[in-house]
Amino acid sequence: MVDLKGQYVRLKDEIDAAIHEVLDSARFIRGPVVSQFENALTECTKAKYAIGVANGTDALQISYMALDIGPGDEIITPSFTFIATAEAASLLGATPVFADIDPKTFCLDPDSVEQCITPKTKAIVPVHLFGQPAEMDSLTKLASKYNLPIIEDNAQAIGATYNGTSTGSMGTMACCSFFPSKNLGAYGDGGAILTSDPELETRSRMITNHGGRHKYLNETIGVNSRLDALQAAILTVKLKHLESFTLARRSAASYYHSLFETIDEITRPYETPEGFHVYHQYVIRTKKRDELADALTNAKIPYGIYYPVPLHQQPVFQGDITPNITLPETEKACEEVLALPMHTELTHAHQDRVAEIVIKHAKTLIYA
Ligand SMILES: *Cc1c(COP(=O)(O)O)cnc(C)c1O
């Protein structure tokens, strides 16, 4: 599905040098390398502040904490996402309320979000899923109508834009993940919080450091969540290549698009006119998803199913937490989606081989 090794080999000299610089400096926690990466991230996203943290899940939790989200509060989030978006809220005693998605973009449906708003709602948390920016115009209008902050879950979409504005700079806060397989991947865990609000920057930074701005002076309850200096050094090198990574992903997507153009059984990913999609995943839809998955397994072609079980149907969210709701578009997507190999090192030959199996399978279905 991804080729981390191939990318490393291509960038080896630059990355090894950056790692050795950290080793030689012996500054492993915080320090100039982390600040340098944070600055580079603000330049890239145009958010005023970036705060490196240990992973994307922490970035979400700390953002919720910075906004004082806690027991009795609700956040509105998609059910069609990775568990972390909701889990971080539950961990703080807040309740994730699940809205449905737009079937074309896989991102939050603003109408469904509005129906979920209650006096307890404390934030809207859109996810730019698979690298496609969520419908930020409508969501921003909703947020100002109800005076709610937006926290962008930007874990899958670094480098994406919406009407020319970078994802991660549109919400009150935003969260990034640098998990190795993400579009900007570290060689271990990493994450960041983005905001342009100086007070939220101060609060978030404090929370990441045991709730204190000065050593041994703790002003609030915090956590220990730091971006490792070694990871920051690696990420600083890789951030310089992010644009070319994105172009490689988009060009692979466009080649898949051309290969599947005439195959009616396969619904190709949709790109909104406002959004610059960065293809964290290339996700197709088909009514015979499980059969296609079997065919790919037999042909030894890797694939992924993101996500097979929606959050509102996860055992952990059953019972009191989530009443028995149905989210038709979310449930349908969980049955129909399949992600094909997508990374920066894909070649047309790889993609031809993948498409051959997908198309052969689709054609068998027609004649079956
Ligand atoms: C990866 C991911 C996260 C969590 O990031 P980690 O760095 O793995 O903690 C959160 N939300 C979404 C949508 C993700 O894809």
Per residue in 308-327, pLDDT tens?
A: 999 999 999 987 666 678 99
Q: Is the pLDDT of residue 215 over 90?
A: no
Q: Which two tokens stand for residue 99?
A: 């809205």
Helix (H) or strand (E) run with residue 340 in it = strand 337-340
pLDDT of res. 363: 82
pLDDT of res. 326: 93
Using a 6 Å cutoff on CB, does residue 130 contact ligand 1?
A: no
337-362 in b/e form (b: 16+ CB < 10 A) is bbbbbbbbbbeeebbeebbebbbebb
Q: 162 pairs with which residues across the strands?
A: 165, 275
When comparing pLDDT for 83 and 363, which is higher? 83
pLDDT of res. 366: 60
**Mean pLDDT over the full length of the chain:** 96
Distance CA 358, CA 292 (A): 7
**Atom 14 (ligand 1) nearest CA:** 155
Using a 6 Å cutoff on CB, does residue 152 contact ligand 1?
A: no
Q: Is the pLDDT of residue 20 over 60?
A: yes
Asked whether the beta carbons of 125 and 139 are under 8 A apart, the reply is no
pLDDT of res. 324: 75
Ligand 1 centroid – CA 362 distance (Å):
32
Is residue 20 helix, strand or coil? helix
pLDDT of res. 367: 57
Q: Is the pLDDT of residue 346 over 90?
A: yes
Q: Determine the average pLDDT of the residues in 342-366.
A: 92
pLDDT in tens, 227-238: 999 999 999 999
Q: Which of 64, 75, 179, 342 to mutate to test the pocket of ligand 1 (most atoms within 8 A of CB)?
A: 179
**Spatial CA neighbour of 337 closest among 272, 279, 289:** 289
User: Crossing angle, helix 289-298 and helix 348-367, to 10 degrees?
Assistant: 130
Q: Which two tokens stand for residue 12?
A: 């080896």
Ligand 1 centroid – CA 314 distance (Å):
17
63-95 in b/e form (b: 16+ CB < 10 A) is bbbbbebeeebbbbbbbbbbbbbbbbbeeeebb
Q: Is the pLDDT of residue 16 over 60?
A: yes
pLDDT in tens, 93-119: 999 999 999 999 999 999 999 999 999
Atom number in ligand 1 closest to CA 55:
7
Residue at 137: amino acid letter: D
Using a 6 Å cutoff on CB, does residue 225 contact ligand 1?
A: no
Q: Which ranges of 135-241 does DSSP label H, i.e. alpha helix? A: 136-145, 198-208, 229-240
Is the preceding omega at residue 307 within 30 degrees of 0, hence cis?
Answer: yes
pTM over 0.75: yes
Q: Is the pLDDT of residue 341 over 70?
A: yes
pLDDT of res. 364: 82
Distance CA 27, CA 137 (A): 43
Residue at 310: amino acid letter: P
Distance CA 176, CA 179 (A): 9
Q: Determine the average pLDDT of the residues in 60-81.
A: 98
Share of the chain above pLDDT 90, in %: 93
pLDDT in tens, 132-180: 999 999 999 999 999 999 999 999 999 999 999 999 999 999 999 999 9
